[in-house]
Amino acid sequence: MAKRTRRDLSNPRIKKIIKAQTGNDGNPAHQFPTRDAAPPRWRLFLSFALVLILMASGAFVYLNWADFREFLNLSGSASRNSSTGQTRSHPSDSDGAARPAENDGAITSQDSATVPVPRTVARRIQVEVLNGCGVDGLAEQITNYLREKNIDVVSRGNYTHFDVPLTTVLDRVDNRERSLQIINVLGLPEKQLQLQKDSNLQLDATIVLGADYKKLIPFK
């Protein structure tokens, strides 16, 4: 086994040799200065702050994504409308005066055909005819006459008794205008028109034929 030789550091010559080998600071000359194991605190704080900012920005965009999307859509629509408005602007002459747009074949209000408006057809007058004097076939004769005058007879029959002296028109819906038309068709005076409303009958008037039936227009 080789023996280790212990250097005598008290010898000035040996000290000089060792100092030349290790350098002035006592470290070996071939070694590089070492860095600190932990980075400075300000770098850690800056990195942490950047991470927090990125996280907060991402959360804000996520929570308000609908507003961002609407803003982007509005911006895109505005740019498209602006470009469309520029392309659709009327051309101008060399002197700057605007020229009328050329006819592109679009249908104008003058060229379009007039659409006929359907007319409201008035409902025909609806009545019932009752025999109040007992003459056979009288209600049928008046029914035929009224239908010729465009009055709809929905029913006919006998009155509660046959002792009615004057033919009477009973207004069932309080529509005097329609009742007067019936009076005029039969040739009766207005005093023989009476108001007796009855919504259950679902007709305009009831004609009760009396003993004066021969004075009616169809019998003259």
pLDDT tens per residue, range 71-91? 777 666 656 655 555 545 455
Task: Give residue 103's pLDDT band: very low, low, confident or very high (50, 70, 90).
Answer: low
Q: pLDDT-derived band of residue 191, with 50, 70 and 90 as boundaries?
A: very high
pLDDT band at 29 (very low <50, low <70, confident <90, very high): very low
Higher pLDDT: 168 or 108? It is 168
The pTM (predicted TM-score) of the whole model is: 0.48
Q: Chain-wide mean pLDDT for the chain?
A: 78
Q: What is the pLDDT of residue 9?
A: 61
CATH 3.30.9.10 fits 126-219, yes or no: no
pLDDT per residue as tens digits for the range 153-187:
999 999 999 999 999 999 999 999 999 999 999 99
- Output the pLDDT for position 72: 72
pLDDT at residue 80 in the model: 62
Task: Write the DSSP string, the chain.
Answer: -PPPPPP-TTSHHHHHHHHHHH-TTSS-TTPPPPPPSS--HHHHHHHHHHHHHHHHHHHHHHHTHHHHHHHHHHHHHHHHHHHHHHHHSPPB-TTSPBPPPPP-SPPPTTTSPPPPPPPPPPPPPEEEEEESS--TTHHHHHHHHHHHTT-EEEEEEE-S-S---S-EEEESSS-HHHHHHHHHHHT--GGGEEE---TTS-SSEEEEE-TTGGGSGGG-
